[in-house]
Amino acid sequence: MSNASSTRPGPVRRIVGGLWSAIDFSRRLVFNLIFLAIVLFFLAAIFKGSGIEPIQEKTALVLDLNGRLVEQFTSSPIDRAIGQATGDDPGAEFQLRDLLRAIEGAKNDAKIDRIVLKTDGFSASGFAAMRELGAALAEFRASGKQIVAWGTGYDQAAYYLAAQADEIYMDSEGLILIEGIGRYRPYYRELLADKLGIDVHLFRVGEYKSAAEPYILDGGSPESKEADLFWMGDLWQRYLADVSTARKFEEGKLTALVNDMPARLKAVSGDFAKLAIDEKLIDGTKTAEELDTLIAERGAADEEEGFRNVGLDRFLAHLGPATAPTEAKPGVAIVVAQGTITDGDQPAGTIGGESTSALLRQAREDDSIKAVVLRVDSGGGGVYPSEQIRREVAALQAAGKPVVASMGNVAASGGYWISMNADAIYADPSTITGSIGIFGLFMNGPRALEKIGVRTDGVGTTPLAGAFDPTRALVPEVGELIQTFIDHGYQQFIGKVAAAREVDVAEIDKVARGRVWSGAQAKERGLIDDMGGLRDAIARAAELAKLEKNAPITYVQKPLSPFEQALADMKGNARSNALLGALSPALGLLGEQRAQQVRDDLSFITDAQGKPFQAVAHCFCGL
């Protein structure tokens, strides 16, 4: 006989159970609503611009560049979609290719009469991409159409773009800060060696290979300072020349203004706007509302937005998708290599030995693709993943598909490694390149352990047994082993460069040894073939493949899912959180840019743990 009453829940359990069910239902409902909202935001961003109204006469293209100029997006599509849908996107990025395409399209569209350039929040990681964007604006202006620039103020990068405009306006409370080019890095020897008791052993070839000096010195070596000032001086003179040409300044005017800025500002009682007008850095002051009125008077008024305009995203949608190569109409593929070169399969917007190689392999196996442009914006990274990518470049050439390397802001060390075999190498005169050299770091911490009363001891069957244990002191034989390996790697590097450039190894060694050059200086030394930007490299690739002038162009890139981005973020943070956690309050006092540099530097040495040692072709030479 069953006893139903003994299994029936009591009144308290029924109440608690009912309450829990209600809570659980509410929880699932809330999460589902949040998920639905995210999906709606995502779909809104995807379909934003679909069914776009035709552009009317007297429309201004507004380029509101409140974000970072990149070669390839580093954030996930869903993050960008939500940011665009909510209007809250603190990590906004603008792809150079999108801006170039929009400016070219606006130049050829009779209904676009001008560009309104807004540069508040604009940042660029180097000069090459910024100069290419500036050149596109200059071409637009040369077509007879007007560019009007406006900002609440201008830093050095923003003013470079604004200088390409017919008229520059600024808020009366703004300032213009042109400061020159500097490269200052934190040095950690005292922290690591004296405070923490960690011994850092650097193995390198070349007195100019200074990437890892911050871990073993308290300041830059004379060689690194000499080399840095040489290439930075070249970039700075080109910046001054470009701005002076665009603004029609006399030679030396801008240099004198920058050098004498404190005294000149004091003479106008600290009024930056007056100084800027007096020195013809700007054409006048205007509020945002006054700018709207000015553009409306010259073009067409709009009740909601002040003047008739179209933004970047809507205009790109209006232009429609670029035509992809087909069997009937073959074309050129572009593979972007942006960021640090690391092992394995990495997310889009980064460089992985396997993932970037896979993109090049995909281009090789696609019969509609007849030539490839490798767009490089990288200071390098691991030697092995760099070699993996170089081999795929060689495989493309063996398959009869020419490869042209297009160097962006930085293509140094490993960035040069993956470029060197190209049929032609293009760089901007202000590209940072060279740094042909490698190094290795080995860190151990027996002194750190002694500080807390811990010592390591034991026995081994050979001198190498346990020699790579970071809790032990470095065995001299191991140091010799590592240096020999690094020496061999350097010889491999310069040997491959010599073969690719068809010169003697000794000639490459003279301009290698880890020394950094500007693009113009690299051209003088035979490390690159020609000056030019991405468009020049594409034209050269089409020419080598004997394609028609307007051959279709496509980007070969890895799709990035939100889940992959989340995993990448977790992976990137986990290794260095322990070391950085204690430093977070102090880092906050450094400002975001310097704090990020410290995080990157410390992440570099923490990420290197877990391997006995590795050869690195890296140049921390970005600006």
Active site residues: 209, 413
Burial classification of residue 66, based on how many CB atoms lie within 10 Å of its CB (0-12 exposed, 13-18 middle, 19 or more buried): middle
Strands (E), 112-223: 112-118, 123-124, 146-151, 167-170, 199-204
* Single-letter amino acid code for the residue at 319: L
Tokens for 216, please give them.
């073993």
The contacts of residue 163 (CB under 8 Å, 6+ apart) are 134, 242, 243, 246, 247
Query: In angstroms, rounded to a whole number, what is the distance separating the alpha carbons of residues 561 and 566?
Result: 9
Angle, helices 312-319/96-108, rounded to nearest 10 degrees: 70
**Residue in the structure block whose two tokens are 């005294």:** 263
Q: Give 3-state DSSP helix, strand, coil % of the chain, rounded to 5.
A: 45, 15, 35
Tokens for 530, please give them.
């020609």
Angle, helices 222-247/127-142, rounded to nearest 10 degrees: 10
Query: In angstroms, rounded to a whole number, what is the distance separating the alpha carbons of residues 309 and 513?
Result: 52
Query: In angstroms, rounded to a whole number, what is the distance separating the alpha carbons of residues 394 and 440?
Result: 26
Cα–Cα distances (Å) from 310 to 58, 61, 117, 313, in that order, read 11, 5, 12, 8
Tell me if 444 sits within 8 A of 438, measured CB to CB: no
Angle, helices 11-47/77-86, rounded to nearest 10 degrees: 90
Give phi and psi for 565, each to the nearest 5: -65, -40
Tokens for 387, please give them.
């070699």
Query: In angstroms, rounded to a whole number, what is the distance separating the alpha carbons of residues 611 and 225?
Result: 31
Query: In angstroms, rounded to a whole number, what is the distance separating the alpha carbons of residues 152 and 120?
Result: 7
Query: In angstroms, rounded to a whole number, what is the distance separating the alpha carbons of residues 166 and 556?
Result: 37
Q: Which of 129, 223, 257 is nearest to 623 (CA)?
A: 129
Query: In angstroms, rounded to a whole number, what is the distance separating the alpha carbons of residues 295 and 291?
Result: 6
Tell me if 490 sits within 8 A of 205, measured CB to CB: yes
Tokens for 583, please give them.
């430093």
Q: Which of 285, 283, 273, 280 is nearest to 254 (CA)?
A: 280
**Residue in the structure block whose two tokens are 């060390």:** 413
Tell me if 130 sits within 8 A of 157, measured CB to CB: yes
* Single-letter amino acid code for the residue at 208: Y
- Tell me, what DSSP letter sits at residue 269? T
* 527-550 burial: b if 16+ Cβ within 10 Å, else e: bbbeebbbbbbbbbbbebbebeee
At residue 382, the 3 state secondary structure works out as: strand
Query: In angstroms, rounded to a whole number, what is the distance separating the alpha carbons of residues 56 and 220?
Result: 57
